[in-house]
Structure 1
Amino acid sequence: MNSFKHLFEPRSVAVVGVSDDAARPGSQTVRALLKNGFAGQIYPVNPKYEQFEGLKCYPAVDQIDGPVDLVVIGVPAKGVLAVLEQSAAKKIPFAVVLSGGFRESGPEGIELEKKMLAIARESGMRIIGPNCLGFANIHSNVYAAFGSITREPKLKVGSVSLVTQSGGFGYSLALGCAAAGVGFRHVIATGNETDIDTVQLIDALLDDPETEIIVAYIEGTRDGRALLDVGRRALAAGKPVLLWKGGVTEQGARAAASHTASLTGSYDFYRALFKQTGIVEIREIHEAVDFLKALAGAKYPSGGGVGVMGVSGGSAIVFADAGEPEGLSLCDLSESTQARLKDVVPNIGAVHNPIDLTAGYFSAANREKLKAAVLATLDDPSVHSVCINLATTGNAGSVAAAEVLAGIASEAGKPVLVFSSAPADQIAPALEIFDRARIPVLPSPSRAARAIAMLKRYGEAKMKLTGSAHALEADDAGARTNGLSDAIKKGSLSEIESKEILAAAGIPVTKDVIVEGVDGALFDTLKGPLVVKIVSPDIPHKTEVGGVKVGLRTREELESSIAEVLENARTHAPAARIEGVLVSEMVRGGFELIAGVVNDEVFGPVVVVGAGGIYTELLRDSACRLAPFDVKTAREMVDELQCRRIMDGARGSAALDVEAVAQALSALSRFAWDNRGIVKEVDVNPLFVLTQGVVAADALIIPSTTGNA
């Protein structure tokens, strides 16, 4: 936060573009600063006015007679560069450009943005915008903004900071949260992000001691690795980041030679990043509200067992229906727990899970019984969190429950959540008690279930942070696999070269021999059945040119197949360089996966694994993670696959070596990261999973055209 201290806490603000027209952005900014009681100096700028709103109005920024920390610019786009140049000459460190008409408007706007960035880089000035609503520092009454951010209702002060690329929608998100009682510290709209972007602002807010949780809306980022680092830093700092990614249906467009790249889109990479950092994805405004409430307590369940207790059996059923797909369960309570519950639950109730407290239980007369029941449930080792279903309980009963739970929650190490569908105005006193105790109250049992599941995932991410994948990135960034640089100098790599390199990286491959022509003698040195494949760096998809023959069991089949794939390649790809024919021992049994690497321009190397063979197009079943990562993360990838159950042994068949898959994926991630500057893609197809080990039957490494070996 230190580098942006005088951006968010300016001692003086110049506002360029004020006018008697109340709709002008600059006019709105000055009026918002005055109305909200900004304590610093305000310098309106417009040569047409001597005064504005009772303040001296200056003809230009460079004629202001005092130091300026922040300049807010609301003039038409064609006048912005001149204002920035004056501001740079005056050594103003920060600017917010509210004006539109930049890259969103076409080629001329793109050039304006380039010149704007050049001014910033040359002078050291930092810029938010252009084409943004600006920002508001709620606790210090700084409103460097216009539009909805400056209008009523005023957000209440709190510990949540919001960063949004879309000012209008982002502020809708803020208002939705505010209506549910969430208070804010900073609200920042970044617009085109010519200079300062969302990731940099999240990073700065992590250093703000008063910001406890960060909410962000993004449509994209220029640097996925920076977001990865910020997400991990946030997790280590214990400051949850809730992120809404817009534009998730747009698939990443890649002209790729590998099968691997076609398995994923850019949104998959964001989701992988979320899983590797603990960033909490949100997809609805109410979801942001629920998760903010749940995270405020900073308590995370160590497992999926939930004790559900209350006065509505239907609510428990709905909770279970929503919770099971999220990894939650209404766990079995121990006999000792049930014995404790029998002492305080009416005979017509139930002491198994869900715990039926019966109608009318929440009352002042039952305070001690409720306390005993909740403590007994929390003490059960199978219970990792508790949901109290108040349902339609009225004010008196809700207040009694709130007072009991507030006393328990402060000492409990497990999260306690409440479901209440009673109108907020009818149980307002209870809601105030819950709020002070940081006990989230959700309006439906399914939303309570999803909030608990989110807490579980976030807690698991915190546990995984120490000592695993994060440490992998601290190595020598220039490390490369032996032999790769020399091979890449020739351009593309053949299959046999690719497999040799991957074998050196720790990925098992098939036994192969390359021949230049028909060679039947190989039949006596290799174990059949055999496979023959054309070897050419110019033919990535061999089957499409008839360059593959499988299941060869005789010398005659081997000889004729070698001749046939050579003829097919020359016929269908006459310009291709033919290096020979690869003869391999055919892998039998097991299950086919596809594994590989896509070196994305935003996220860097990403490892992908998916179902292979006939399931590739049928299931579209894949998982991915940003490289590098450890074996534990690789196991999680495999566990996400629909085909995972097949590898456990389907219909009496033997279980396959999933651990070997994880080790191979981790090794592939290490290889991808070490060679990120020179490898564009890797395709291992198929990767056979056997009862013992894995083996890559085919592989292709595609060099980066920009990499230099």
Structure 2
Amino acid sequence: MLSSDLTMSQRSLPFAYMISVGNQSVLRMEDFIDVLCNKPEVKAIGLHIEGIKDISIFSEVALKALEAGVPIVALKTGSSKIGSELTVSHTASLSGSDDLFQALFERLGIIRVSNPVQLLETLKFLCVAGIPKGRRLVGLTCSGGGATLLADHAEKIGLEFTRPSKKTAKRLTRLLHYTATVSNPLDYTTPIWGIPDRVLPVFETMLTDPYDAAIFVQDYPPPELEESKPYYLNDAKSFIEASSKVRISSAICSTLPENMDQSTREMLVENGIAPMQGINEALEAISTSAWYFGRRESIRKNGIEKLRIKPLSGMPATGIVSTLIDEWEGKKHLQEIGLSVPEGYIADIAEVPELAEKIGFPVVVKMIGKNLAHKTDAGAIALNILSCEEVEKAVDRMKKDVENFDPTAVSEKFLVEKMLEKPTAELLVNVRTDSQFGMAMTLAAGGVLTELLTDAVTILLPTNRYELENALKSLKISKLFDGFRGGEMIDTEKLVMALIDLAEGVQNPTFGIKEIEINPLFIYKGKVCAVDVLMRVVNVTSGAVSSK
């Protein structure tokens, strides 16, 4: 069992409790979180999650822990295709899709890690060093290589090694050996190594500038080189003394995990310094801990109550039949919800040229049918048509192409719409209902970029403007929203309000929407428009209660 493996680790994580919950048939993970987050000896809670039985209760206790200031660090396994199959075979009733778990963790301020080592190192940093209040980091090494390793990985994960102030740099120049270069991370060089009278003033001076966390890279010698260890410990004690005066989260980190012996680790823990093993693991722990602090503060500011996930009342366990409706019907639903769609009309084949002329060229013509979910693949769409003659040719070509693609998909119904101007950006918006997580919204790069870019974020519903704004900012295409390379800046407020209208509309049982995908949603400077939509509505068989 993983729980047994963790207790045998050589990491000096100060365990208060180790609990294996098995298949959670009697007591669930949520029950233990509920109790443990109130215990004064518990500084953080680590979870190995295969699945969660009740998302609503889990969200309640996770937010309770957050309110109590007890971080939760989660290792969720079963995210790969094979891993998911193994999880299903072990605890079939518990597994859920990975993007929804990710959305859940982000919503609740839960730190997610990818492996057991990172789980232990993150918990160790939180429990021993505490929670940093930001991403400003000061680094100390007695090696140019160590300083480079720190700087390289910190940049990748958004930690900030800010330069020493002019006043600090001037003082450091006087204190350091002439071979040293004033920088952050700082290589204080071997000529003063192990000499407390030289090293302590350097460390104290370096830490006078405002930082949120401090890290000192130091690898300790093996037993056969024990005679040099006092010099290492001298510098470690200087770091302990200097960092204790500024009261920021601090860690001493070995480059290689095995290069920190147990006695050293225990000494550091006793002095409130996290003994971290591995540079990347240490920096990841600091980064995610700082993320936790920011997320916790924003949740408190915007209201914990808004993020509670309530059970899907009224959702029948059985008897739901979902039906894919055509684009015309879907767009009528969107208009009822309050979203804009292109000007258009539905027409029989003979009426298409006349309607195109009535709308005004250029137009878009689409064959409409329930078996035409992906019109581009079937050849069931023609763009930028400029005349009645082109309309007739396009309709004839469509019939032939769809016949070749799928004879059962051929339809005599066509949607004629005004061809829209090129937008500032295109977004894919999907809202779906999951029996375990409830409703979720996925935002991604839309149009032709959907399959080219891995650019998506999922949030759980209900949500609010703040959460939506943050979700949009996390997308790579969000640069387009800000006027990328001279483009128009969009009105983010209008986009957010359109997404809120959509989310509220889908949650309204009157519409009976099971899933909706808009791709693309055209985004302009002052408006948005749903250009294409796939929509499934639910029909509940006799005897079942109303569904949402």
2:220·2:260 contact (CA, 8 Å) conserved in 1?
no
Superposition deviation, residue 439 in structure 1: 1.1
**Distance in 2 (alpha carbons) for counterparts of 1:502 and 1:320:** 49
Structure 2: which 5+ runs fail to align? 85-95, 222-227, 315-319
**Distance in 1 (alpha carbons) for counterparts of 2:117 and 2:322:** 55
**1:120 — aligned with what?**
none
**1:186 — aligned with what?**
17
**2:529 — aligned with what?**
695
Asked if residue 443 in structure 1 is aligned to residue 272 in structure 2, the reply is no
**Distance in 2 (alpha carbons) for counterparts of 1:230 and 1:658:** 37
Superposition deviation, residue 318 in structure 1: 0.8
Which of 160, 169, 175 is the matching residue for 1:344?
175
**1:321 — aligned with what?**
152
Quickly say closer, same or farther: Cα 1:425–1:290, change in 2 above 3 A: closer
Q: Name the amino acid aligned to 1:629.
A: T
1:399·1:427 contact (CA, 8 Å) conserved in 2?
no
**Distance in 1 (alpha carbons) for counterparts of 2:112 and 2:310:** 32
**1:378 — aligned with what?**
207
Per-residue CA distance 1:379-405 (angstroms, 9 max, x = gap): 424x43222223458532343344444
Which of 407, 411, 419 is the matching residue for 1:586?
419
The Cα RMSD (Å) is 3.8
**1:681 — aligned with what?**
515
Asked if residue 213 in structure 1 is aligned to residue 40 in structure 2, the reply is no
For 1:99-498, what aligned pairs fall within 5 Å after superposition? 168-176=1-9, 179-250=10-81, 266-297=97-128, 299-359=130-190, 361-363=192-194, 365-366=196-197, 370-381=199-210, 383-392=211-220, 394-420=228-254, 430-468=264-302, 470-472=304-306, 492-498=324-330
Quickly say closer, same or farther: Cα 1:447–1:190, change in 2 above 3 A: closer
**Distance in 2 (alpha carbons) for counterparts of 1:395 and 1:422:** 17
Q: Give the structure-2-normalised TM-score.
A: 0.81
**1:654 — aligned with what?**
487
| Matched residue SS, 1:346 | coil
Instruction: Give the structure, 1 or 2, with the largest relative contact order (CA under 8 Å, sep 6 or more).
Output: 2
Structure 1: which 5+ runs fail to align? 1-167, 254-264, 481-487
1:534·1:547 contact (CA, 8 Å) conserved in 2?
yes
Quickly say closer, same or farther: Cα 1:550–1:352, change in 2 above 3 A: same
Which of 552, 555, 559 is the matching residue for 2:388?
555
**Distance in 2 (alpha carbons) for counterparts of 1:352 and 1:705:** 66
1:607·1:665 contact (CA, 8 Å) conserved in 2?
no
For 1:593-608, what aligned pairs fall within 5 Å after superposition? 593-608=427-442
Q: Name the amino acid aligned to 2:186.
A: I
Quickly say closer, same or farther: Cα 1:428–1:494, change in 2 above 3 A: closer
| Matched residue SS, 1:296 | helix
Per-residue CA distance 1:78-135 (angstroms, 9 max, x = gap): xxxxxxxxxxxxxxxxxxxxxxxxxxxxxxxxxxxxxxxxxxxxxxxxxxxxxxxxxx
For 1:5-84, what aligned pairs fall within 5 Å after superposition? none
Superposition deviation, residue 597 in structure 1: 1.5
Quickly say closer, same or farther: Cα 1:475–1:305, change in 2 above 3 A: closer
Per-residue CA distance 1:381-431 (angstroms, 9 max, x = gap): 4x4322222345853234334444434444535322212359989876654
| Matched residue SS, 2:46 | strand
Quickly say closer, same or farther: Cα 1:209–1:703, change in 2 above 3 A: farther
Q: Name the amino acid aligned to 2:42.
A: T
Per-residue CA distance 1:340-373 (angstroms, 9 max, x = gap): 323433333222222222215354542xx54544
| Matched residue SS, 1:180 | coil
Superposition deviation, residue 212 in structure 1: 2.5
Quickly say closer, same or farther: Cα 1:225–1:445, change in 2 above 3 A: same
Superposition deviation, residue 506 in structure 1: 4.9
Quickly say closer, same or farther: Cα 1:579–1:202, change in 2 above 3 A: farther
**1:612 — aligned with what?**
446
**Distance in 2 (alpha carbons) for counterparts of 1:337 and 1:170:** 46
**2:93 — aligned with what?**
none
Quickly say closer, same or farther: Cα 1:361–1:649, change in 2 above 3 A: same
**Distance in 1 (alpha carbons) for counterparts of 2:123 and 2:171:** 34
**2:344 — aligned with what?**
512
* Count of aligned pairs between the two proteins: 518
2:12·2:262 contact (CA, 8 Å) conserved in 1?
no
**Distance in 2 (alpha carbons) for counterparts of 1:315 and 1:252:** 36
**2:458 — aligned with what?**
624
Superposition deviation, residue 492 in structure 1: 4.8
1:251·1:267 contact (CA, 8 Å) conserved in 2?
no
**Distance in 1 (alpha carbons) for counterparts of 2:182 and 2:332:** 63
**Distance in 2 (alpha carbons) for counterparts of 1:195 and 1:676:** 38
| Matched residue SS, 2:190 | coil
Q: Greater CA deviation, 471-480 or 390-399?
A: 471-480
1:398·1:430 contact (CA, 8 Å) conserved in 2?
no
Q: Name the amino acid aligned to 1:337.
A: T
Quickly say closer, same or farther: Cα 1:550–1:251, change in 2 above 3 A: farther
**1:638 — aligned with what?**
472
**Distance in 1 (alpha carbons) for counterparts of 2:26 and 2:538:** 28
Per-residue CA distance 1:619-650 (angstroms, 9 max, x = gap): 34322122222333334333444444566666
Superposition deviation, residue 327 in structure 1: 0.9
Which of 496, 501, 507 is the matching residue for 2:333?
501
Larger Rg: 1
**Distance in 2 (alpha carbons) for counterparts of 1:365 and 1:404:** 6
**Distance in 2 (alpha carbons) for counterparts of 1:287 and 1:700:** 41
Superposition deviation, residue 605 in structure 1: 1.4
1:274·1:280 contact (CA, 8 Å) conserved in 2?
yes
| Matched residue SS, 1:617 | coil
Q: Name the amino acid aligned to 1:330.
A: F
**1:78 — aligned with what?**
none
**Distance in 2 (alpha carbons) for counterparts of 1:698 and 1:661:** 17
Quickly say closer, same or farther: Cα 1:490–1:444, change in 2 above 3 A: closer
**Distance in 2 (alpha carbons) for counterparts of 1:240 and 1:490:** 40
**Distance in 2 (alpha carbons) for counterparts of 1:443 and 1:669:** 45
| Matched residue SS, 2:296 | helix
2:105·2:111 contact (CA, 8 Å) conserved in 1?
yes
1:225·1:602 contact (CA, 8 Å) conserved in 2?
no
| Matched residue SS, 1:196 | coil
1:308·1:330 contact (CA, 8 Å) conserved in 2?
yes
Q: Name the amino acid aligned to 1:607.
A: M
Per-residue CA distance 1:493-515 (angstroms, 9 max, x = gap): 44234334334545443233333
Percent of aligned pairs with the same amino acid: 25
**Distance in 2 (alpha carbons) for counterparts of 1:345 and 1:191:** 56
Quickly say closer, same or farther: Cα 1:655–1:408, change in 2 above 3 A: farther
2:443·2:458 contact (CA, 8 Å) conserved in 1?
yes
**1:60 — aligned with what?**
none
**Distance in 2 (alpha carbons) for counterparts of 1:252 and 1:553:** 52
Q: Name the amino acid aligned to 2:212.
A: H
Superposition deviation, residue 455 in structure 1: 1.7
Per-residue CA distance 1:432-488 (angstroms, 9 max, x = gap): 4421232112233323222221222212211221244854457999999xxxxxxx9
**Distance in 2 (alpha carbons) for counterparts of 1:305 and 1:606:** 34
